[in-house]
Structure 1
């Protein structure tokens, strides 16, 4: 047993596929700075001070620790989380303010992947490749297309859950109230571990 994961289980197999399908192997191969170099950079860069404060707050608040982990592994996981988030800050400094959401995402990755560096590079793919796609509607809304974005979200919701979409319309509640919480955490704050693994298999 590896921290609650069965090496041959479907869950472990699916998680190992994230490393390949996300593009993390390519990013690792062509990176100008490797994981250890990014960690060293993160510890001395003055411009990352806000990130460091945000990371410490995220470690206190975020519910990211594995439920099936041994009691004495919590501090070990916290150190892993701190390193992953610090390296992410060094590579993607524009993520300032997203430390809490990224802690949720990386917590989900740590729960399924054995290698800390695999967690980091998959997280890099999420931040650099997936986040821009998910945040595109937000950017469009800021440019004056908020109504179009809301209509698109309602339309998508209506295809899957027509009664829910109808209720949103009836009450005049913007769907973004819900989705703005889902996108940054990739649903890790809304789904149980098993359902989250399924969702991430579709996203990654």
Structure 2
């Protein structure tokens, strides 16, 4: 529920038909506005997973993602609370190999894992106009299209797990090249 996640959650609640939403942030006060709108505050990623069929993650860096998904000595992770049939959607800009690893580990637990990094920044998150690049099980992705549509306008299925991250990496390279060309 940081800069990006807060607005993505808000759009899911207002436009995605989410009747119940559970939220977690290391800094609980960052969840206050969503809780005021009806979200349930959870004390761990595990608790979010226990209360959810679909779990979205949006964190800062790949190591944070690993901690949230797998847990740490101090924090129970998403996998500690998931049930068979859950869908985990990671929207963090991460690494393709981490997305594939999470997907492999998720499938062993009967969980579907989707990597869906975004482009468009905080304004796109606020306005619900993000570009979403998706990798993972196509049937699971299609079942979530109404949710993706509440957060973004340019939604593309790219292929198997890790493909969303590969596409985001390519996007970032093109952005960097354009910035260099302007300088």
- TM-score (norm: length of structure 1): 0.23
Larger radius of gyration: 1
Higher helix share goes to which structure? 1
Higher strand share goes to which structure? 2
- TM-score (norm: length of structure 2): 0.25
Higher RCO (CA-CA < 8 Å; seq separation 6+)? 1
